[in-house]
Structure 1
Amino acid sequence: MMNFEMIDTACINGEDLPWVPFTPYDDRVFMKYFKIDPVRGEMVLMMKAPADLELARHHHTGTVIVYTVEGKWKYREHDWVAGPGSCVYETAGTRHTPQAVGEGELLMFVVLQGELVYLDENDQILATENWRTAMDRYLAYCKDNGIAARDLTSFSG
């Protein structure tokens, strides 16, 4: 039997995973990491943020899929507003500034490939986020809070 034939379908209970602050960027933004794949550079996560949020402008090196569960948000550079039930597909190479709009908390399900490169107003790189920085953030949060860290790279839940 091949190794891939032994991989079973996994169900990961979100209640078993912590909400991790998105430090150092904004302590009001939280990530719940389901999977962090170092081979493909992919992260599967939930993100929640307050209604008055504006994150720094950034560039994507890979694709991003965002499904909005609660709240409304947009990019400063676009006219559309994504609300509950909206699915936004971002191509590699896009640049934008995320903003929460309206009332209430924002809750999104995100599948992100590649890196987020944070930029200043002159397109100078401020910081880079990827699977490694996400894993470091998750492991540090678990350690600091006495939480047993899960192997988020595993295929077996």
Structure 2
Amino acid sequence: MNDQKLITKLPDEPHEAMIHRFGKEGAFIPGDDENNPWVPFGEQAAIKHLAFDVRQNSAANILWVKGGGRIGTHRHRGVVSAVTLEGSWGYHEYDWVARPGDFVYELPGTAHTLYSDDPNGMKALFWLSGAIEFFDDQANFEFTADVFWFIDHYVTYCEANNIPVNKDMFI
């Protein structure tokens, strides 16, 4: 085997023709603010949407909570994974604080209140599966956020601000 030669084409597989004929290719989702805006989420936060998968009821996004901000108490109905990108954040109900590079996973049924007391705020990449139920400060149900809520959040903002909807986000 010659180490200097790179394999540029894998051997054909029987299903390859079907993948090319019917499959959806992967996508590139730009992270710049002009093509992929920060969509306000309450007064202290914003969401940069990255992907919507209606088949799995899942969504990927970056949550930005500005310094001293919080996200209301919410309960997950699916698994959530997060990687902290900037700043620090935690949940009032737990004794840890996530910092850049930290990984957090949340199991269905957990309820908590996200906060960031970092003066520069926080940004974390989230992959959300299933619905999230939000509650007010008196524990009254407010709304459910699922993949369809996230799609509406993004599309409504784009249409109101004459920003093209990136159809590559829909997987």
Shorter-normalised TM range:
0.7 to 0.9
Deviation digits for residues 80-139 of structure 1 (CA, Å, limit 9, x no counterpart): 000111110001111001110232121111100111101246644221111111111111
Residue 113 (structure 1) aligns with: 129
Moved more, 7-16 or 108-117: 7-16
Q: How many aligned positions are there?
A: 152
Deviation at 1:154, TM superposition (A): 3.4
The share of aligned pairs that are identical, in percent, is 29
Q: 2:63 aligns with which of 44, 47, 54?
A: 47
Q: Which ranges of structure 1 fall in alignment gaps of 5 or more residues?
A: none
Judge conservation of contact 1:47–1:109 (CA < 8 Å) in 2.
yes
With the length of structure 2 as denominator, give the TM-score of the two structures. 0.81
Residue 13 (structure 2) aligns with: none
- 1:133 matched to 2:149: yes
Question: Secondary structure of the equivalent of 2:70?
Answer: coil
**1:1-157 alignment, distance < 5 Å:** 1-3=17-19, 6-15=23-32, 16-22=35-41, 26-120=42-136, 123-155=139-171
CA distance in 1 between partners of 2:80 and 2:23 (Å)? 29
Deviation digits for residues 27-61 of structure 1 (CA, Å, limit 9, x no counterpart): 33111111111110100111112111122111000
Judge conservation of contact 1:38–1:153 (CA < 8 Å) in 2.
no
Over the aligned positions, Cα root-mean-square deviation in angstroms equals 1.8
Deviation at 1:3, TM superposition (A): 3.7
CA distance in 2 between partners of 1:95 and 1:121 (Å)? 13
With the length of structure 1 as denominator, give the TM-score of the two structures. 0.88
Judge conservation of contact 2:73–2:135 (CA < 8 Å) in 1.
yes
Structure 1 residues 21, 10: closer, same or farther in 2, change over 3 A?
same
Judge conservation of contact 1:62–1:115 (CA < 8 Å) in 2.
yes
Question: Secondary structure of the equivalent of 2:71?
Answer: coil
Deviation at 1:152, TM superposition (A): 4.9
